[in-house]
């Protein structure tokens, strides 16, 4: 896949460097009943997920979280903790209205997702769908364009951003496999999901006619989601994959490329001054991409609204292992919403010698599973206890509210014209 673009002056972008500044991510410590336990391990040992989720489900938060919560909830301004209840009547009259209320579970939840001042890193340039997903998850956030997903992850790890937004799957194009691998390579936690209707447009420089087109460029998902429509339109164009849809539009505009069209959003057309030759060219009107939001800290799972939990595991040797793992959820009536397998990069192949028959080469996998339950529920905790019996590696990627927003296919943009055939 080609990377087409330098970042333009109006569009500063975080860029990947081979030797990123090495700032050691702070190791968070959780306080639990006077004890501290380190939750920053990646989860390679069996008990990591258990300790961190047991701690979280006991409504205990990190020291920093609890300090800032207490200072904002109880009205302290100097950051010091004052946990001793005090008599409100002893305060000066102008302070009496600021009643001290006990912390409740809602205080311990992340701030409502209004997102103002939240810095959200995404891959691409303005007009990318990931930028729209950031805006849907955190309205009024400050979206930070990054030239690669790797950079978006690092931006959060190095405290340059508060969240990263990552597309993981699409209803037409399927899983975005590389991003699953990234989830495993990094230590960030999934704290939310957003399902975004994706409405693709066919864009070219103003005045360009489709007869002159020799090439169409887009993110691989953009090309995959419009494959049949492109064929139906009878365009004899080469498909070329680039890093992001809006970057494709920017490239055409910045380089005055007249033989190339981009598949991107109507907003990208507007930003980069391209004409919409055809609108809604995705192969299915109900084209939805699922994005996950990532943060340095997990959120506290709840039970008062639908939650989803994402895990990744590698299985032990043995028979019917995957079946047994999945049964742990079935027996507890926990629905799975997604299962994905990726090569286990640590052990890609296992050789099994069968006497007199030869050597079998088993491919080894990492399995990613999403299930509909919160880690605050006993049935989810029990299911995972059982799962770990059959697995050599288990990590909870996150337990987060499901995106339940009502959905209808997005209407075509008003400035569109249909491609003439």
Ligand X SMILES: O=C(O)C(=O)Cc1ccccc1
Which is closer to ligand X, CB of 60 or CB of 269? 269
d(CA 68, CA 328): 39
Is residue 329 among the annotated active site residues? no
Taking CB under 6 A as the binding criterion, the range among 36-44, 215-223, 273-281, 403-411 that sits at the site for ligand X is 215-223
Taking CB under 6 A as the binding criterion, the range among 11-19, 147-155, 218-226, 399-407 that sits at the site for ligand X is 218-226
User: Closest approach of Cβ 131 to ligand X, in Å?
Assistant: 7
Based on the shown chain and the rule CB under 6 A, indicate whether residue 403 belongs to the binding site for ligand X. Answer: no
Which is closer to ligand X, CB of 203 or CB of 314? 203
Catalytic residue among 260, 289, 309, 391: 289
d(CA 259, CA 210): 9
Of 129, 307, 367, 393, the residue at the interface with ligand X (CB under 6 A) is: 129
Give 124's DSSP letter.
S
- Structural tokens at position 187: 């230590």
Is residue 307 among the annotated active site residues? no
- Structural tokens at position 168: 């993981």
Based on the shown chain and the rule CB under 6 A, indicate whether residue 130 belongs to the binding site for ligand X. Answer: yes
User: Rounded to an integer, what is the distance from CA 256 to the centroid of its chain?
Assistant: 34
- Structural tokens at position 224: 């995959």
Among left, alpha and beta (phi > 0; psi -120 to 50; other), residue 27 is beta
Taking CB under 6 A as the binding criterion, the range among 32-40, 67-75, 216-224, 396-404 that sits at the site for ligand X is 216-224
d(CA 45, CA 393): 7
3-state DSSP assignment of residue 175:
strand
Based on the shown chain and the rule CB under 6 A, indicate whether residue 267 belongs to the binding site for ligand X. Answer: no
Taking CB under 6 A as the binding criterion, the range among 209-217, 241-249, 273-281, 320-328 that sits at the site for ligand X is 241-249
Based on the shown chain and the rule CB under 6 A, indicate whether residue 169 belongs to the binding site for ligand X. Answer: no
Checking 96-105 for CB contacts under 8 A at 24+ apart, the result is 100/74, 100/75, 101/73, 101/74, 103/69, 103/70, 103/73, 105/59, 105/302
Please work out the total of residues on this chain that contact ligand X, with binding judged by CB under 6 A. Answer: 14
User: Closest approach of Cβ 92 to ligand X, in Å?
Assistant: 53
Helix (H) or strand (E) holding 201: strand 201-204
Which is closer to ligand X, CB of 306 or CB of 411? 411
d(CA 274, CA 268): 8
3-state DSSP assignment of residue 191:
strand
3-state DSSP assignment of residue 155:
helix
Of 115, 135, 222, 401, the residue at the interface with ligand X (CB under 6 A) is: 222
Based on the shown chain and the rule CB under 6 A, indicate whether residue 193 belongs to the binding site for ligand X. Answer: no
Which is closer to ligand X, CB of 219 or CB of 395? 219
d(CA 175, CA 169): 4
Catalytic residue among 291, 313, 329, 367: 291
Of 128, 217, 314, 380, the residue at the interface with ligand X (CB under 6 A) is: 128
Contact 154, 316 (CB under 8 A): no
Neighbouring C-beta atoms of residue 293, cutoff 10 Å: 27
Taking CB under 6 A as the binding criterion, the range among 61-69, 243-251, 382-390, 403-411 that sits at the site for ligand X is 243-251
Largest CA distance in the chain: 90
Based on the shown chain and the rule CB under 6 A, indicate whether residue 298 belongs to the binding site for ligand X. Answer: no
User: Closest approach of Cβ 138 to ligand X, in Å?
Assistant: 15
d(CA 408, CA 171): 14
Which is closer to ligand X, CB of 126 or CB of 298? 126
Which is closer to ligand X, CB of 189 or CB of 219? 219
Q: Annotated active-site positions, please?
A: 289, 291
Q: Where do contacts with ligand X occur on this chain (CB under 6 A)?
A: 124, 128-130, 167, 170, 198, 219, 221-222, 244-246, 289
């Amino acid at each position: 896949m080609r990377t087409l673009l330098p970042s333009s002056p109006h569009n500063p972008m975080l860029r990947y460097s081979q030797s990123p500044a090495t700032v050691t991510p702070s190791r968070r410590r959780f306080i639990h009943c006077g004890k501290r336990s380190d939750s920053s391990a990646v989860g390679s040992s069996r008990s990591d997920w258990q300790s961190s989720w047991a701690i979280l489900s006991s409504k205990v938060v990190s020291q920093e979280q609890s300090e800032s919560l207490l200072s904002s909830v109880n009205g302290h301004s100097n950051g010091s903790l004052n946990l001793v209840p005090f008599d409100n009547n002893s305060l000066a009259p102008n302070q009496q209205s600021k009643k001290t209320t006990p912390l409740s579970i809602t205080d311990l939840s992340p701030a409502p997702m209004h997102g103002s001042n939240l810095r959200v890193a995404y891959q691409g340039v303005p007009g990318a769908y990931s930028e729209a997903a950031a805006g849907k998850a955190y309205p009024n956030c400050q979206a930070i364009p990054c030239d690669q997903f790797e950079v978006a992850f690092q931006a959060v790890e190095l405290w340059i951003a508060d969240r990263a937004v990552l597309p993981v799957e699409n209803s037409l194009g399927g899983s975005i496999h590389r991003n699953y691998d990234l989830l495993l390579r990094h230590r960030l936690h999934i704290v939310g999901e957003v399902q975004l209707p994706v409405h693709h447009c066919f864009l070219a420089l103003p005045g360009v006619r489709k007869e002159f087109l020799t090439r169409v460029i887009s993110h691989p998902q953009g090309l995959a989601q419009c494959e049949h429509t492109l064929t139906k339109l009878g365009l004899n164009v080469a498909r070329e994959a680039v890093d992001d849809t809006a970057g494709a539009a920017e490239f055409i505009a910045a380089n005055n490329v007249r033989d190339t069209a981009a598949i991107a959003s109507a907003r990208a057309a507007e930003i980069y001054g391209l004409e919409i030759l055809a609108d809604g060219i995705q192969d299915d009107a109900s084209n939805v991409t699922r994005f996950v939001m990532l943060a340095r800290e997990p959120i506290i799972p709840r039970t008062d609204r639908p939650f989803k939990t994402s895990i990744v595991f590698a299985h032990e040797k043995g028979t019917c292992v995957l079946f047994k793992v999945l049964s742990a959820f079935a027996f507890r009536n926990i629905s799975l919403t997604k299962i994905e397998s990726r090569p286990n990069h640590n052990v890609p192949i296992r050789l099994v010698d069968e006497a007199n028959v030869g050597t079998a080469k088993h491919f080894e996998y990492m399995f990613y599973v999403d299930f509909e339950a919160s880690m605050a529920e006993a049935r989810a905790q029990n299911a995972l206890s059982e799962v770990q019996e059959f697995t050599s590696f288990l990590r909870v990627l996150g337990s987060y509210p499901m995106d339940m927003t009502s959905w209808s296919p997005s209407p075509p943009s008003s400035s569109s014209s249909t491609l003439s055939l």
